[in-house]
């Protein structure tokens, strides 16, 4: 979500001043942890609480990375592409349309907060992934890397021209849409 001060509509200065406090108070009432099935079958970690039963509940996958695991990799995000026992991976789940959004955050060295974070529209990402398989999107998919335990992940360039439409928000210095 964009900061209200960056929008064209003028906002009440009190709203601007207390926006973070309001978000901190309201946010927990709008988000909930996913259930076991949503987590294991849909790569969904959080759900947006929606009181209208006929509306699909939007979902948010979350990946929190340690700073040590990501030194020098701030321009990329990773998604599991191979599992030990042949189970569905995050890529498989993303390609079937779940979750709706994906939060990818890298912690500060002291773990107190996020250093770099991105919110990705999974439907747009999935379309780009399929297109990249058909064409050479060398700026989209970086590489597949084995973890040495039968699992693997694919790394994707977050700051590429190809990815710009899929990134909803980011605090990365090469994105101006925090």
So where are the chain's domains? Answer: 34-170
Mind listing the pLDDT tens digit for each residue in 67-111? Answer: 866 566 778 888 999 999 889 999 999 999 889 889 888 888 888
Q: What is the pLDDT of residues 24-61, one digit of tens each?
A: 665 776 678 888 888 888 888 888 776 665 667 788 88
Q: How far is CA 76 from CA 59, 79, 159, in A?
A: 22, 10, 8
**Predicted local distance difference test score (pLDDT) of residue 4:** 46
Q: What is the pLDDT of residues 102-125, one digit of tens each?
A: 988 888 888 888 888 888 999 999
Q: In angstroms, what CA-CA distances link 33 with 39, 49, 103, 136?
A: 9, 10, 14, 37
Give 115-118 contacts, CB < 8 A, sequence gap 24+.
Answer: 115/67, 115/74, 116/74, 116/170, 116/171, 116/172, 117/170, 117/171, 118/77, 118/158, 118/167, 118/169, 118/170, 118/172, 118/175
Would you state the pLDDT for residue 8? 55
pTM for the full model? 0.72
């Amino acid at each position: 979500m964009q900061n209200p001060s960056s929008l064209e509509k003028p906002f009440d200065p009190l709203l601007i001043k207390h926006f973070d406090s309001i978000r901190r108070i309201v946010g927990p009432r709008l988000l909930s942890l996913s259930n076991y099935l949503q987590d294991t079958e849909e790569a969904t970690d959080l759900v947006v609480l929606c009181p209208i039963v006929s509306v699909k509940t939007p979902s948010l996958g979350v990946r929190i990375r340690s700073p040590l695991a990501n030194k020098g990799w701030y321009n990329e995000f990773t998604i599991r592409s191979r599992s030990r026992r042949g189970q569905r991976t995050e890529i498989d789940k993303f390609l079937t349309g779940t979750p709706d959004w994906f939060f990818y955050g890298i912690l500060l060295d002291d773990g107190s907060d996020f250093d770099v974070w991105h919110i990705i529209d999974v439907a747009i990402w999935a379309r780009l992934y399929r297109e990249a398989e058909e064409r050479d999107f060398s700026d989209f998919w970086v590489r597949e890397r084995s973890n040495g335990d039968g699992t693997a992940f694919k790394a994707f360039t977050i700051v590429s021209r190809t990815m710009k439409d899929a990134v909803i928000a980011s605090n990365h210095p090469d994105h101006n849409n925090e």
